[in-house]
Structure 1
Amino acid sequence: MQTANISFSVGSNQMEEYFRKRISDEHQASRIISHIRRSRSLNIMCHIPIFCWISATVLQNNAEIPQTLTEMYIQFLLTQINMRNQKYDERNTKKLLKSNRDLIVKLAELAFKQLMKGNVIFYEKDLIESGIDVTDASVYSGICTEIFKQESVIHQRKVYCFIHLSFQEFLAAFFVFYCQVEKNEKSLNLILRDLDYRSLVSGMCGQIEPEEYYLYGINITLVDLQKAAVDKSLESKNGHLDLFLRFLMGVSLESNQRLLQDLLTHTVNSSDTISATWYIKNKIKDDHYYMRGKHLSAERCINLFLCLLEMKDQTLYKEIQEFVKSENHSYKLSPAHCSTIAYILQISEEVLDEFDLKKYNTSDEGRRRLIPAVVNCRKALLDGCNLNDQCCESLSSSLQSSNSSLRELDLSHNDLQDSGVKLLSEGLKSLHCQLNILRLSGCMVTEEGCCFLASALSSNPSHLRELDLSYNHPGQSLVKLLSDPSYRLEKLNVDHGGEFRIVAGPQKYICNLTLDLNTANTYLALSESNRKVKHVKKKQPYPDHPERFERFPQVLSRESLTGRCYWEAEWKGKPDISVTYKGISRKGKNDDCRFGLNEKSWSLIWNNYKFIVRHNNEKTGIPPPSSRSNRVGVYLDWSAGTLSFYSVSDTHKLTHLHTFNTTFTEPLYAGFRVCYSGSSVSLCEIKPLPVRIKSVTHR
């Protein structure tokens, strides 16, 4: 069958077109399409044309609609068997059952042996080794397709394959289950060797061969085989055992055993499979790859979760749904957890109103794995999550999906650069993209990136209404182009632009501050257009003012700080560099007035060759960086509740010193305490930096 190795394009209507052409009854075709649309797991599989063919074959001939992949393949197998029965019109029922069972088991043995070898095509000798009559195998045109492959210029050899690798994996799983049910010792020895059963045994068992287990009275249970298959599949780099594992878990269900009753001499109680589901859940929850201490890949994590669904175990699914809906996300999530959460959100029939990536306590890798979840939410907040251009490929795919519910996407304050915007624009071009709002503030986008956006808007101008390009460098010509009415943008934000915004890290948010003379203590002298403060011995003739610091040598900035702000200060002596609410006390000499000693202010102090950070009279010492500098950078992200201090080198490289995490409730002001005569602090004028400098380093 030629459809085995191709797939329908993501977001296309090819799957629906296939079913309507394949099924002449329009009502039945609509019913099947509707069922597949509702089941996201089946919908994903139906991007493979051969699976559409299998689904159509099953759903046309069955009143009950399969709920799992295993059920679908069992029903397909039974359909093929019934077709064979009708063709040969065998009157002896027992003989017919035995004939069917013998052939299916032999084909299943062939499937397992070749799967373990990594083979998808096999020769006549392989069939003979499994006891298959080649002429009988050809009868199963739907199960084993005969094809020709030219081995040399002159000769041709017959080669065989299953209609699709997935069906080979299904039969291989059935073979393992069948051998366990039948206690076929010889075949089980073969299976144990291929699944590397020794990974589960210890002590004496680890020193003996599989064929000797029975001599020592070692009982190999179905759960043992399932656990061994889990471990074997996790070793795979390309996932070639993923479906095999799902089918092995699925066929063990009693409901599926009943469907297969004509192929099984007896069934087994599946209550022991609780141990198998527990084993799988622990693999997902523990995450660290049990063999090498590495994280499980996203693909392996998702497949383990799908194994649980094949066994109709919904407990982990429900746990994660409750976690996503809860407000408490303090639990540290591993990358495996994130892969599972993302997949569950994707297949959920309920569209999430808002997905805020910052709420999830995880690593950068974990955040990357959560990104695919945006396809099934209306509003995605991915701002300030340390994403890079590579993350945009997944986002682009989501925008192109016909199932995408995404209407608002905030990627602000991530260093995506033009390369990321180029990938994103491919998604924006798609006619399936219905995004209304896109925020790219502070994403290092230049004129080149804006050209990609303009091209995307010209291809699909019908939906995007709001575009935020503030803190980037779009250039005047591109601003004019994007303002073209044909693009139908209702709101275009290009504020705070310029080439100096195209830097990695917080320096793109530089702001110009001046000192407020009305707040300066009388022993502080301001100069250089109120950008420098110095402690002097002589009292300054300042007039009385209610905002002036009466006793402490402190001063505030004139400008208030909200949003994202970055500034630098250079000092001499022993200063305090702070931020504070305007409501800090000004009169007296108690803790309410001094920076860092109350709940209204946060300070960085240089003292005795080390830094100290202080808030609400709680202090923490910080060793100085290896290269000493008298210049400090301060970065405020007001909405995120973070205040960060950096040491700034002569080459403008930032070394992170400390970050306060809190919730700010009102605008802040820069503040400086200059204690000793001759000590000073100057607000630095930051010149435009080279484009695309290296990111800040964290010690």
Structure 2
Amino acid sequence: MKFSSQGQEIQQNTRTRQCLTSLTSLTSLTVKKQGKLCITEGGTGEVNTEHEVRQIETFSWNPNRPETSIRDKPIRTVLTKGVAGIGKTFLTQKFTLDWTEDKTNQDIQFMFPFPFRELNSLKDKKFSLVGLIHHFFTEIKEAGICNFKKFKVVFIFDSLDECRLPLNFHITEILTDVTESTSVDVLLTNLISGQLLPSAHIWITTRPAAANQIPAEYIDMVTEIRGFTDPQKKEYFRKRLRDKEEANTIISHIKTSRSLHIMCHIPIFCLITATVLESVLKTKQAGGKLPKTLTEMYIHFLVVQTKVKNIKYDGGAETDPLWSPESRKMIEALGKLAFEQMHKGNLIFYETDLTECGINVREASVYSGVFTQIFKEEKGLYQEKVYCFVHLSVQEFLAALNVHLTFTNSGINLLEEEETDSVQTDESSVRQFYQSAVNKALKSPNGHLELFLRFLLGLSMPSNQDLLQGLLTQTGISSQINQEAVKYIKERMNGALSPEKSMNLLHCLNELNDDSVVKEVQHQLSSGHLSKVNLSPAQWSALVFILLSSEAGVDEFDLRKYSASEEALLQLLPVVKALFISKVWKVHCYSCLSRLSGCNLKERSCEALSSILSSQSSRLRELDMSNNYLQDSGVKLLCVGLGSPHCVLETLRLADSLLSGCQITGTGFTSLATALRSNPSYLKELDLSYNHPGNSGMKLLSALKEDPHVKLVILW
């Protein structure tokens, strides 16, 4: 039989099948084709409250992180996470192709791929599991196959983040009969939870933000695709560009821009970068100056694609005006669609979504046919057309362009909660427009406006407006307005913001061509006086930016080098997370982890470090918090992480050579004992010297030493 996946038909053998059970192959393919794969077990993990680019930034910090092999054990359900455009769908398609060509997983008799974008169209219909399979795979129906219990069956549910079905695993009817009809959402929840056809294997792919829709107890293993490593980026550009000198120029250039370097972990952004830089190098646009910010890169990409349209589709010449009325109409329509669907959280659009934005299906087909590298039309198994931008960042750029165009043309601020009449865009209203955009992005609980804000601020730069001359009207924004925006952002950075939000504002300053804060901290760092200076919150963010941008990385984290204080630890938490979560620490690296001792750490530090210990990706083996004023309350918070099944800590030091101790009494010892019984597998050495356990504490520790399940070997 044949089925279509992202518009590409794949010839099936007589058995309808695809792949998954050999998860070792999953690791191999992902590393070879799509970069590093981090494997964790036991559930979907924490809820992400940051933009995906921030997650990529965390992954990119340690380019030499080792891979974790997948253990050979029986599993039923696997969830593969990865940010938009990282290669999740490609991975399922590649396995489909390998399986159909008899290259792998030949012990699987049936494999059924069900992209959520296809299942969305069945929202108001009822099916049995057998009926659903027969609906999509007519050859199975014609063969009269209705009993799948005696076969090895794999279901692939691709792109959970695109699901518009109300998946409710807590309040749902129980379904065990594969021939009983029900709504598609109930059918899926029972299949995933194992109530229906428990012998089947399930593979789900999703963006991280949607992973928590599946309860952890229904997931046996979580895998994560993290994109291209630095060597793979180089390999991509050298294969993509025939001119070796051009390829080397591009590779060197992306290293000079933190924003570009981060985004190039996404394969499709490498394509965008190569397309733009190759064009700029050949045409010597902007005096040969290569784009260094994200806004510049996406503006150039839009210009390149518009030129292709004008020459390839409209029969124009290279010297013709870039922005024809038709091209302007297309970009404006796509910008409106991008903004309205971004506001709703949608990456995939259906005919009804297009209609709401004033685009009919014929126009959408034209747009996808002309701007093929920006907007695409796809047909799935059910043959219903769906539409999407080639990547989330392209949608966010066009959304920002739409908001900018609307404001400059009519004075209407689309970011306002209530619709306003058009107003004159004087300096006061322009100033308010950008300040409200910053505030709106900072209030976003999941950081979904962060990249959008970078683009919007970048579009305010006169140099970027020059690149889009003919599409954008000159706003008359003075350099004073831009400087006021810079000043306002710095004020917000010095307020009460999380390190992640402050870091994004630092990227916003970069889009406004301001690197003053970074240079200030670089000067203090190079002079060796940083620990003697009281840094502002903005400067702390700059320090994080510098440390994470260091190509050499940080092999030893010594908190006292920056400031022996709890504030320093909390401000540098993104660096600490990158060190302790992204890298596998070995036992002999004790010196790297002992530099938290004697730093005036208290409860808040314990809570922060506890979250690292309990992270699915935690690789922290040794932790020394000696000579700090933790007390029982701090130890109790630390033990939340210590007792987590994800904690792999082997050595914990809470001692004090100054005889004052960490002030841990029997209450704290009780917390430690409880944590060790919850997670007895790893901790081998515990140093509690010069604390005050009392008789009750001593009895608890003695009992731990005798417990055969607890691995504790050395107890001080």
TM (norm. structure 1) is: 0.51
Once residues 231 and 410 of structure 1 are traced to their aligned partners in structure 2, the CA distance between those partners, rounded to angstroms, is: 38
2:298 corresponds to which letter in structure 1?
Answer: Y
Kept after mapping to 2: 8 A contact 1:169/1:243: yes
Pick closer, same or farther for the CA change 1:412–1:314 going to 2, 3 Å: closer
The residue aligned with 2:251 is 33
Equivalent residue, structure 2, for 1:357? 559
Partner-residue secondary structure (3-state), 2:85 = helix
How far is the alpha carbon of 1:322 from its aligned partner?
A: 2.9
Are the aligned partners of 1:111 and 1:169 in contact in 2 as well (CA < 8 Å)? yes
After TM superposition, the structure 1 = structure 2 runs for residues 137-156 of structure 1, keeping only pairs within 5 Å, are: 137-138=367-368, 139-149=370-380, 156=383
**Contact 2:399–2:452 (CA under 8 A) maintained in structure 1:** yes
Q: How does 1:75-474 map to 2 (within 5 A)?
A: 75-87=300-312, 88-90=314-316, 97-132=324-359, 133-138=363-368, 139-149=370-380, 156-182=383-409, 184-185=410-411, 188=412, 191-193=414-416, 196=417, 210-212=419-421, 214=423, 221-271=429-479, 272-286=481-495, 288=496, 296-325=497-526, 326-327=528-529, 329=531, 338-347=540-549, 356-361=558-563, 364=566, 366-370=568-572, 373=575, 394-397=579-582, 409-411=592-594
Report matched runs for 1:11-90 at 5 Å.
11=229, 13-63=231-281, 64=288, 65-87=290-312, 88-90=314-316
Q: Which amino acid aligns with 1:315?
A: S
Deviations 1:305-363 (A, max 9, x none): 00000111111222222343452545555777544421123225798898641244476
Count of aligned pairs between the two proteins: 412
- Contact 2:233–2:264, Cα closer than 8 Å, also in 1: yes
Letter of the 2:654 counterpart = G
Letter in 1 for 2:311: Q
Q: Secondary structure at the match of 2:494?
A: helix
Q: Is the 8 A contact 1:19 1:56 kept in 2?
A: yes
What is the CA distance between 1:146 and its match in structure 2?
A: 0.7
Relative distance call for 1:180 and 1:412 in structure 2 (3 A) is closer
Structure 1 position 505 matched with structure 2 position 654: yes
Change (3 A) 1:173 1:424: closer
Structure 2 distance, partners of 1:39, 1:407, is: 33
Deviations 1:138-165 (A, max 9, x none): 2211111112356xxxx54322111101
Deviations 1:80-135 (A, max 9, x none): 00000111114795696222222111211111111111111212343344344223
Q: Rate the CA distance shift 1:652–1:335 in 2: closer, same or farther, 3 A.
A: farther
Q: For 1:422 and 1:131, locate their aligned partners in 2 and report how far apart those are by CA, in whole Å.
A: 45
Question: Distance in 2 between the 1:425 and 1:213 partners?
Answer: 52
Comparing 223-232 with 129-138, greater Cα deviation is found at 129-138
Q: For the residues of structure 2 that align with 1:422 and 1:226, how far apart are their CA atoms?
A: 36
How far apart in 1 are the matches of 2:320 and 2:235? 40
| Deviation by residue 1:477-531 (Cα, 9 ceiling, x = unmatched) | xxxxxxxxxxxxxxxxxxxxxxxx977522xx6xxxxxxxxxxxxxxxxxxxxxx
Task: Tell me if the contact between 1:397 and 1:427 (Cα under 8 Å) persists in the aligned partners.
Answer: no
Partner of 2:388, secondary structure, is strand
Letter in 2 for 1:273: N
Amino acid at match of 1:312: N
The answer to whether the 8 A contact 2:349-2:386 is kept is yes
Residues 318, 174 of structure 1: alpha-carbon distance in 2 compared, 3 angstrom cutoff: same
Q: Measured at CA, do residues 131 and 690 of structure 1 come closer, stay the same or move farther in structure 2, by a change above 3 Å?
A: closer
Q: CA deviation at 1:277?
A: 1.2
Partners in 1 of 2:499 and 2:488 — Cα distance? Answer: 18
Cα separation, 2, equivalents of 1:136 and 1:226: 34
Specify whether residues 262 and 410 from structure 1 end up closer, same or farther in structure 2 by C-alpha distance, changes over 3 A only: same
Distance 1:212 1:171 in 2: 23
CA-based RMSD: 4.5
| C-alpha contact 1:280 1:304 (8 A) present in aligned 2 | yes
Q: SS at the partner of 2:305?
A: helix
The alpha-carbon deviation at position 262 of structure 1 amounts to 2.2
| Alpha carbons of structure 1 residues 363 and 110: separation in structure 2 relative to 1, 3 Å | farther
Larger Rg: 1
Aligned to 2:63: none
TM-aligned CA deviation for residue 29 of structure 1: 1.5
| Alpha-carbon separation, structure 1, partners of 2:584 and 2:510 | 27
Give the partner amino acid of 1:259: L
User: CA, structure 1 residues 328+688, in 2 after alignment: closer, same or farther (shift >3 Å)?
Assistant: farther
Distance 1:227 1:26, change over 3 A: same
Structure having the larger proportion of residues in strand: 1
Between 226-235 and 160-169, the greater mean CA deviation after superposition: 226-235
Could you tell me whether the CA contact under 8 Å between 2:408 and 2:475 is conserved in 1? yes
Q: CA 1:249–1:13 in 2, change beyond 3 Å: closer, same or farther?
A: same
Alpha-carbon separation, structure 2, partners of 1:72 and 1:360: 35
Return the alpha-carbon distance in structure 2 between the equivalents of residues 180 and 213 of structure 1: 8
Give, in angstroms, the shift of residue 240 of structure 1: 1.2
| 1:259 CA drift (Å) | 0.2
Change in 2 beyond 3 A, CA 1:362/1:180: farther
Segments of 5+ residues of structure 1 without an aligned counterpart are 197-208, 289-295, 374-390, 401-405, 429-438, 445-500, 510-563, 569-624, 628-644, 655-686, 693-699
Tell me the CA shift for residue 261 of structure 1: 0.3
Distance in 2 between residues matched to 1:338 and 1:59, nearest whole Å:
33
Task: Map 1:485-500 to 2 at 5 A.
Answer: none
1:614-672 deviation digits (Å, cap 9, x = unpaired): xxxxxxxxxxx9x9xxxxxxxxxxxxxxxxx9995744889xxxxxxxxxxxxxxxxxx
Instruction: Give the Cα separation in 1 of the matches to 2:537 and 2:703.
Output: 36
- AA partner of residue 57 (structure 1): T
- Alpha-carbon offset, residue 412 of structure 1: 5.4
CA shift at 1:71, angstroms?
A: 0.7
1:376-414 deviation line (CA, Å, top 9, x unaligned): xxxxxxxxxxxxxxx5763352579xxxxx998353566
Question: What amino acid does structure 2 have at the position aligned with 1:81?
Answer: T
Looking at structure 2, the residues matched to 130 and 335 of structure 1 have their Cα atoms a distance apart, in angstroms, of: 42
Q: What's the offset of the Cα at 1:688?
A: 8.8
Q: Distance in 2 between matches of 1:354 and 1:649?
A: 33
Q: Which has the higher helix share?
A: 2
1:212-244 residue CA offsets vs partner (Å, 9 max, x unmatched): 5749x9987233222112111112222211110
Decide whether aligned partners of structure 1 residues 33 and 104 sit closer, same or farther in structure 2, where only a CA change above 3 A counts.
same
Query: Structure 1's 345 and 16: CA in aligned 2 closer, same or farther, altered over 3 A?
Result: same
